[in-house]
C-alpha cells in the first residue's frame, strides 16, 4: 500500500498524528510523477518549487498546532482551464501557451484557504472541447489501465492522474460529461455538482450555461470532502446559486433502505453488453441493500446530443471571440488588424475548436437562429422536464456513465460524430443542470466500467449517499492499474 491508496481522512489523521509531514506527501507526489508521467502524460505544468515551499510553511503550522481542515497539506492537481496566479494556464491550446494568470479561480482560492497544495496543471482537450484528450495541442494523455487507450475527456488528465497515483485528488470541469466520462474510463470517482453549486469564476469558459467544476477522487468519501471545500455562493459569479450548503460528509450513512431508483430504458439501449451487465449487477447490489428500482422512459434523450452540440458550440463561438491576439495569449505577425485576428486565431486554435466555433457561428447567424439555436433551447427545456417528472416519483436515476469502455487512441479522432455520441448518457444531465456522479461498478475485458447516479437539483447529498452505500459493499474502487 502506498500513500495514494489512503483515504483523505486517513492522510489527515497521519498528518496530525505526526506520522507524516506535508513535505512527505508532496515529495511522494513528485516521486510518483517522475516515475510514471512520462508514460501517462497527465501533467502539462508542474509547480514543484512552489509546492515544496508551501509544504515547508504548512509543516511549521502543523508543528504549532495551527493545522485546520481535512484538506490541510494535501497535494492536488488542477485542470488547466482554471486560472492559477503565477502558474501557467494554457487550456491545452497554443493560443495560451504563454499565459501566466494574475489571479486565482475561486475554487483555487478555496483550496488555498483550506491549505491544500497545488502540484501542477493537468492536460485536457483544448478549451475542454473533446471526449478523449486527443485534442490537446501539447500531448495525448494515456489511460493508466491500458496505455494504448484514451483516458476520456476533456478532464482526461485529471482522471488519469488520480488513477495512476500521481495526485491525491484533482479538479475537473464538466460541460457535457467531461468529469464523469473520464472517471468512468479510468476507474475513479467523478462528481459533477448541480449547475451553480460551485463557482465558475476563473474557469476559462467553454459553454457558460453548462460548465461546472467538480472533484475527481479515488472514492466517494473523498469526493464529499472536496465538494465541501469548493462549493458555495460566490458574488463574483453571476450564475452562482445562493442556496444552503449542507454537510455532504454527514450524508454518507451507508443506508439506502427505501431509496427509489429510476432506470431509463434509453440509457441501456445500444450499450455494450458487458457494460450493461455491470450496471445490472450494481442495481442488484443496491436492491440487496433495501433500494427498489423501476424502468422508466426519458423520451427526449435521443435529441440530447444534437441539442447539446448546437447550444455548446454557440456559446463557445461567443466565449472564444475574446481570443483575438490583442489582449492576451499568442499574437501572430500581421500588417493590419483584420489579418491579426485571422492569423492569431488560425494559428492559435486547433481543428476541433475551429469546428465548434464554425458550427456555433452558423447556428447563431441571421436566418438560422430560430431553426437551430432556438429549437435546441426548446429541446433542452423538454429534456429538463423529463427529469423533473421522473424525480416526482424517484430519488435518483441510475444507468451507465458511458456506453462502452475506453476506446483505442486514434480510433475515433477522425470521426467527430462517433466521438460526440460517446457522451450520449452524460449530456442530458448537463442540459438539465442536475448533479451526477460516476463510480466504478465493474470491469469489461480489463477496463473499468462506470455507474452514473443522477440526483435532483442541489441534492448532491442523496447522490453521494447512494454512491457511498454501493461503494462500501463492493471492491471495484479498490483495484489499481499496474504501472
pLDDT the model gives residue 448: 98
Task: Give the total number of structural domains in the chain.
Answer: 1
Determine the Cα–Cα distance for residues 161 and 151; give it in Å rounded to an integer.
10
Q: Tell me what the mean pLDDT of segment 237-247 comes to.
A: 97
Determine the Cα–Cα distance for residues 81 and 63; give it in Å rounded to an integer.
35
Q: Tell me what the mean pLDDT of segment 174-193 comes to.
A: 98
Instruction: Please pick, among 93, 132, 154, 155, the residue that the annotation labels catalytic.
Output: 154
Residue 130 lies in a domain: yes
Determine the Cα–Cα distance for residues 246 and 269; give it in Å rounded to an integer.
36
Instruction: Please pick, among 79, 110, 192, 456, the residue that the annotation labels catalytic.
Output: 79
CATH code of 112's domain: 3.90.1300.10
Residue 68 lies in a domain: yes
Q: Is the peptide bond before 154 cis (omega within 30 degrees of 0)?
A: yes
- Please give the residue range of the domain that contains residue 169: 3-256+463-478
Contact predicate 289/469, CB 8 Å: yes
Contact predicate 105/84, CB 8 Å: yes
Residue 321 lies in a domain: no
SS3 string, 263-309, reads EEHHHCCCCCHHHHHHHHHHHHHHHHCCCEEEEECCCCHHHHHHHHH
| Lowest pLDDT segment from 35-39, 168-172, 366-370, 458-462 | 366-370
Using the Cα atoms of residue 257, residue 262, residue 265 and residue 271 in order, give the sign of their dihedral. negative
Contact predicate 430/452, CB 8 Å: no
Q: How confident is the model at residue 417 (pLDDT cuts 50, 70, 90)?
A: confident
Strands ordered across the beta sheet of 396-400: 43-46, 117-122, 75-79, 169-174, 212-217, 189-192, 436-444, 447-454, 396-400, 260-264, 292-296
What are phi and psi for residue 376, nearest 5 degrees? -65, -35
Q: DSSP label at 407?
A: P
pLDDT the model gives residue 67: 85
Determine the Cα–Cα distance for residues 261 and 89; give it in Å rounded to an integer.
41
Contact predicate 182/172, CB 8 Å: yes
Q: How confident is the model at residue 247 (pLDDT cuts 50, 70, 90)?
A: very high
Q: DSSP label at 266?
A: G
pLDDT the model gives residue 330: 87
pLDDT the model gives residue 236: 98
Q: Tell me what the mean pLDDT of segment 185-194 comes to.
A: 98
Contact predicate 121/44, CB 8 Å: yes
**pLDDT surpasses 90 at 359:** yes
- Residue 214: strand pairing partners: 172
Q: DSSP label at 356?
A: H
CA within 13 Å, CB half, 108: 25
Residue 448 lies in a domain: no
Q: How many other CB atoms are found less than 10 A from the CB of residue 362?
A: 15
Residue 195 lies in a domain: yes
Determine the Cα–Cα distance for residues 433 and 387; give it in Å rounded to an integer.
10
Contact predicate 412/362, CB 8 Å: no
Residue 29 lies in a domain: yes
Q: In the annotation, is 154 catalytic?
A: yes
Instruction: Please pick, among 178, 240, 344, 461, the residue that the annotation labels catalytic.
Output: 178
**pLDDT surpasses 80 at 189:** yes
pLDDT, averaged across the chain:
96
**pLDDT surpasses 80 at 290:** yes
pLDDT the model gives residue 76: 98
Rounded (10°) CA dihedral 386, 303, 81, 436: 30
Cell for 98?
Answer: 504563454
pLDDT the model gives residue 328: 83
Q: How confident is the model at residue 35 (pLDDT cuts 50, 70, 90)?
A: very high
Reduced to 3 states (helix: H, G, I; strand: E, B; else coil), residue 120 is strand
Contact predicate 115/68, CB 8 Å: yes
Grid coordinates 424517484 are at which residue? Answer: 394
Count each helix (H run) and each strand (E run) in the chain, helices first.
Answer: 15, 11
**pLDDT surpasses 80 at 344:** yes
| Lowest pLDDT segment from 222-236, 408-422, 446-460 | 408-422
Residue 453 lies in a domain: no
Q: What is the CA radius of gyration of the chain?
A: 21
Cell for 61?
Answer: 503550522
Q: In the annotation, is 218 catalytic?
A: no
Residue 338 lies in a domain: no
Determine the Cα–Cα distance for residues 86 and 89; give it in Å rounded to an integer.
9
- Kindly list the distances between the CA atom of residue 368 and the CA atoms of 219, 309, 310, 311, 364, in Å, as whole numbers in the listed order: 46, 15, 11, 13, 6
Grid coordinates 510518483 are at which residue? Answer: 32
Over residues 101-129, the pLDDT tens digits come to 999 999 999 999 999 999 999 999 999 99
DSSP secondary structure string, 127-159? GG--SSSTT-SS----BTTBTTB---SSSHHHH
Determine the Cα–Cα distance for residues 258 and 287; give it in Å rounded to an integer.
10
pLDDT the model gives residue 415: 85
Contact predicate 426/483, CB 8 Å: no
Q: In the annotation, is 313 catalytic?
A: no
pLDDT the model gives residue 375: 97
Residue scoring higher pLDDT (76 or 69): 76
Contact predicate 15/73, CB 8 Å: yes
Amino acid at each position: 500500500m502506498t500513500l495514494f491508496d489512503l483515504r483523505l481522512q486517513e492522510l489527515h489523521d497521519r498528518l496530525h498524528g505526526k506520522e507524516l509531514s506535508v513535505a512527505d506527501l508532496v515529495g511522494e507526489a513528485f516521486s510518483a510523477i517522475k516515475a510514471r508521467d512520462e508514460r501517462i502524460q497527465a501533467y502539462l505544468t508542474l509547480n514543484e518549487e512552489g509546492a515544496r515551499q508551501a509544504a515547508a510553511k504548512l509543516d511549521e503550522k502543523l508543528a504549532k498546532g495551527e493545522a485546520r481542515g481535512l484538506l490541510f497539506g494535501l497535494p492536488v492537481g488542477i485542470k488547466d482551464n482554471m486560472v492559477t496566479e503565477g502558474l501557467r494556464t494554457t487550456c491545452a491550446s497554443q493560443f495560451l501557451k504563454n499565459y501566466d494568470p494574475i489571479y486565482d479561480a475561486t475554487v483555487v482560492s478555496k483550496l488555498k484557504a483550506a491549505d491544500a497544495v497545488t502540484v501542477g496543471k493537468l492536460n485536457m482537450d483544448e478549451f475542454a472541447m473533446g471526449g478523449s484528450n486527443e485534442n490537446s495541442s501539447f500531448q495525448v494523455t494515456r489511460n493508466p489501465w491500458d496505455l494504448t487507450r484514451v483516458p476520456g475527456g476533456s478532464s482526461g488528465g485529471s482522471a488519469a492522474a488520480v488513477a495512476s497515483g500521481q495526485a491525491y485528488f484533482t479538479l475537473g470541469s464538466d460541460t457535457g460529461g467531461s468529469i464523469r466520462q473520464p472517471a468512468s474510463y479510468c476507474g475513479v470517482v467523478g462528481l459533477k455538482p448541480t449547475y451553480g453549486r460551485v463557482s465558475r469564476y476563473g474557469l476559462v469558459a467553454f459553454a457558460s450555461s453548462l460548465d461546472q467544476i467538480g472533484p475527481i477522487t479515488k472514492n466517494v468519501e473523498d469526493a464529499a470532502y472536496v465538494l465541501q471545500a469548493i462549493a458555495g455562493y460566490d458574488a463574483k459569479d453571476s450564475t452562482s446559486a445562493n442556496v444552503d450548503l449542507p454537510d455532504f460528509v454527514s450524508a454518507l450513512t451507508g443506508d439506502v433502505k427505501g431509496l427509489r431508483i429510476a432506470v431509463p430504458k434509453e440509457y441501456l439501449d445500444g450499450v455494450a453488453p458487458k457494460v450493461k451487465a455491470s450496471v445490472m449487477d450494481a442495481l442488484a447490489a443496491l436492491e440487496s441493500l433495501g433500494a427498489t428500482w423501476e424502468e422508466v422512459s426519458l423520451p427526449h434523450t435521443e435529441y440530447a446530443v444534437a441539442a447539446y452540440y448546437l447550444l455548446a458550440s454557440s456559446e463557445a463561438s461567443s466565449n472564444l471571440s475574446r481570443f483575438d491576439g490583442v489582449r492576451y495569449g499568442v499574437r501572430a505577425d500581421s500588417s493590419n488588424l483584420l489579418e491579426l485576428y485571422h492569423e492569431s486565431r488560425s494559428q492559435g486554435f486547433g481543428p476541433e475548436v475551429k469546428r465548434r466555433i464554425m458550427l456555433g457561428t452558423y447556428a447563431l447567424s441571421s436566418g438560422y437562429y430560430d431553426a437551430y439555436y432556438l429549437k435546441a433551447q426548446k429541446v433542452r427545456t423538454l429534456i429538463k422536464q423529463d427529469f423533473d417528472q421522473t424525480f416526482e416519483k424517484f430519488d435518483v436515476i441510475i444507468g451507465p456513465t458511458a456506453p462502452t469502455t475506453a476506446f483505442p487512441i486514434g480510433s475515433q479522432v477522425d470521426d467527430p460524430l462517433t466521438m460526440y455520441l460517446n457522451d450520449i448518457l452524460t449530456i442530458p444531465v448537463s442540459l438539465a443542470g442536475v448533479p451526477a456522479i460516476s463510480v466504478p461498478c465493474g470491469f469489461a475485458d480489463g477496463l473499468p466500467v462506470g455507474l452514473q447516479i443522477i440526483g435532483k437539483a442541489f441534492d448532491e447529498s442523496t447522490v453521494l449517499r447512494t454512491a457511498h452505500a454501493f461503494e462500501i459493499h463492493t471492491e471495484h474502487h479498490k483495484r489499481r492499474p499496474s504501472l
